[in-house]
Structure 1
Amino acid sequence: MSIPAWSGRRAGEALLKVKAEGRRKDKPCIICKQGIDYSLTYPHEQSCSVQHVKSRKLYPHLTWEPSNWEPAHLSCNKAAGPGEDLGMGVTSEDW
């Protein structure tokens, strides 16, 4: 299975959804656990980006699944790189 593209209108809408929820719940970056300034916009390195909790590389079918999205600083997201699985939400059966 190929990895679906993450771009265009759908990706923009996903970012708006993640930012709105993150701002409402004061969610920190899922990677570094530090606060996010939700007023910053791309390409600022500390702006919010969509982090896929279960990587798109390993779980391509979850690319567009909102429950798989969490806020992360753009710089943290870039540093994590493609294919990194944060291991969140993994049950013991997945090990």
Structure 2
Amino acid sequence: MSQRNGRTRRERANADNLKAQRKQPCARCGQQIDYTLPVDDPQAFIAGHIKAWIDHPHLREDPSNLQPEHAKCGKSAGADAGQTNVGLTSRQW
């Protein structure tokens, strides 16, 4: 497994493939992504994980676990990005 900047060669290839598809919109905020922006721009594209790989390491290199996101949206999601609440309680306990 060859790594650079913490990402494997397969992870970089998966992200490049997703970027080439130019899918819209951002999966987190619903706004359009400008795929021409430089990588250091907060509005730039990143390949975000649907289920955070920190919690689901077996999905780290799975291309079906990727979604298009703005850099700022993906970074603000954090490790619990794939977590959802299981509904609301009917009253305060």
TM beyond 0.5: yes
**Partner SS state of residue 70, structure 1:** strand
1:15 partner amino acid: A
**Partner SS state of residue 49, structure 1:** strand
* Percent identity over paired residues: 35
How many Å separate the matches in 2 of 1:64 and 1:11? 5
How many Å separate the matches in 1 of 2:40 and 2:8? 16
How many Å separate the matches in 1 of 2:24 and 2:51? 18
Name the TM-score, length of structure 2 as normaliser: 0.74
Change (3 A) 1:59 1:8: closer
2:33 maps to 36
How many Å separate the matches in 1 of 2:38 and 2:18? 13
Work out whether 1:77 is the aligned partner of 2:74: yes
1:90 maps to none
For 1:34-73, list aligned pairs within 5 A. 34-73=31-70
Deviation, 1:33, is 0.7
Deviation, 1:41, is 2.3
How many Å separate the matches in 2 of 1:54 and 1:8? 18
Whose strand fraction is larger, Structure 1's or Structure 2's?
2
**Partner SS state of residue 57, structure 1:** coil
CA RMSD after TM alignment: 1.9
Structure 2 unaligned segments of length 5 or more: list them: 85-93
Work out whether 1:16 is the aligned partner of 2:16: yes
* Higher-Rg member (1/2): 2
